[in-house]
A = this chain, B = another copy of it.
Amino acid sequence: MIKLDAINALDRAGFVARLGNIYEHAPWVAEAAHSFGPFSTVAALFAALVQAVCNASDAQRLALIAGHPELGDKLALAKPLTTESQSEQQGAGLDQLSGAEFDIFTRLNRAYRDKFTFPFIICVRRHSKDSILAGFQKRLEHDRETEIQAALAEIDRIAALRIGGLVAGDATLKLDGQVSTHVLDTHGGTPAVGVAISLHELSRLAPPRLIARSLSNADGRTDAPLIAGKPVPIGQYEMRFEMGPYFAARGIASAKPPFLETVPVRFGVADPEAHYHVPLLVTPWSYTTYRGR
């Protein structure tokens, strides 16, 4: 991480050397943004980059779009990807596609390029595989002008996350979401301590994928949120609470199998920068869950 002050102290060449990769294969964006400095906040720095893209010609913007890699195209891995986009595509599991998934993505990529002549761009860190697919399907129906705007908006989102990961500053860029929980044992009237909790990403194409695993602490919360410090990918999730072992450890008699063993709570995330607090109020015979705060 570089401090904002250090960024502000750079000359144009140093600035471009540092921030040239924020926009994929387009160091000219950083170069143009340098003139707007110095920047009082990270958000102001980001706004300058966005403005630089805005001030460019249509041809430059199309070139910016065209410079992005094909999404999920494994063959593309041989091409010169920036390190940033490589690690981003791993996030959504795009480098671990099954054969069937690979075929679907390849087909959609081709259809998209055939229609628009540029690659499909999406800020993958804000998405799950399923929501990328949904995005493909929806955006294929756009006309070209709408889709150029959509691609640029995604490029800006990618840039914002890259800046957030590079420049240490204030929290003026709101880039993070959160998934958290709280388990209350309403049989005993206490926080439920020591409950095994796991979070899984669901997919129509593939089995659930384990995202995080934790134990509830003395407050019935997890020591750290299940997801924090990054966007929560748009998608479907399932939180699982292992209540059977918890109530057994408390010595509460139950039949075999108990009425509640694993409690699954399935929920959708539509806003990657929001806080999804999903508590559980639970007895051996009942539970309540809700979107909380």
Known A236-B261, A261-B236; contact A271-B289, beta-carbon cutoff 8 A? no
* CB pair B285 A287 closer than 8 Å: no
Segment of A57-65, A96-104, A186-194 engaged in the interface with chain B: A186-194
Segment of A1-9, A18-26, A252-260 engaged in the interface with chain B: A252-260
Say which residue of B259, B269, B288 sits within 8 Å of A286 (CB atoms): B288
A258-291 vs B: 1/0 string, CB under 8 Å?
1111111011111100000000010111111111
User: Within 8 Å of chain B (Cβ to Cβ): is A219?
Assistant: yes
Give the distance in Å from the alpha carbon of A287 to the alpha carbon of B278 in the complex: 11
* CB pair B258 A268 closer than 8 Å: yes
* CB pair A259 B189 closer than 8 Å: yes
Give the distance in Å from the alpha carbon of A191 to the alpha carbon of B285 in the complex: 12
* CB pair A286 B281 closer than 8 Å: yes
User: Within 8 Å of chain B (Cβ to Cβ): is A293?
Assistant: yes
Residue of B whose beta carbon sits closest to that of A184: B292
User: Within 8 Å of chain B (Cβ to Cβ): is A164?
Assistant: no
Q: For residue A283, which residues in chain B have a CB less than 8 angstroms away from its CB?
A: 186-187, 189, 283
A62-79 vs B: 1/0 string, CB under 8 Å?
000000000000000000
* CB pair B219 A293 closer than 8 Å: yes
Give the distance in Å from the alpha carbon of A238 to the alpha carbon of B238 in the complex: 14
Chain A: interface residue total (CB-CB under 8 A): 43
* CB pair A266 B270 closer than 8 Å: no
A114-136 vs B: 1/0 string, CB under 8 Å?
00000000000000000100100
User: Within 8 Å of chain B (Cβ to Cβ): is A235?
Assistant: yes
Give the distance in Å from the alpha carbon of A215 to the alpha carbon of B293 in the complex: 17
Nearest CB on B from A253, distance (A): 11
Residues of A105-157 whose CB lies within 8 A of B: 131, 134
Nearest CB on B from A132, distance (A): 13
Q: For residue A261, which residues in chain B have a CB less than 8 angstroms away from its CB?
A: 236, 266, 268
Give the distance in Å from the alpha carbon of A76 to the alpha carbon of B187 in the complex: 47
User: Within 8 Å of chain B (Cβ to Cβ): is A231?
Assistant: no
For the complex of A and B, list the 4 residue pairs with the smallest distance between their C-beta atoms, beginning with the closest.
Answer: A255-B270, A257-B268, A286-B290, A189-B285
Q: Beyond the given A188-B285, A281-B290, please list 12 additional residue pairs across the A-B interface where CB-CB is below 8 A.
A: A182-B293, A184-B292, A186-B291, A187-B187, A189-B283, A236-B261, A238-B264, A258-B268, A259-B270, A260-B268, A281-B288, A283-B283
Which residues of A are interface residues toward B (Cβ below 8 A)? 131, 134, 182, 184, 186-189, 191, 219-220, 234-236, 238, 255-264, 266-271, 281, 283-293
Pick 19 A–B contacts, CB within 8 A, sort by A: A131-B257, A184-B290, A184-B292, A186-B186, A186-B283, A186-B290, A186-B291, A188-B285, A219-B293, A220-B293, A234-B257, A258-B268, A258-B270, A259-B268, A259-B270, A281-B290, A285-B291, A286-B289, A287-B290
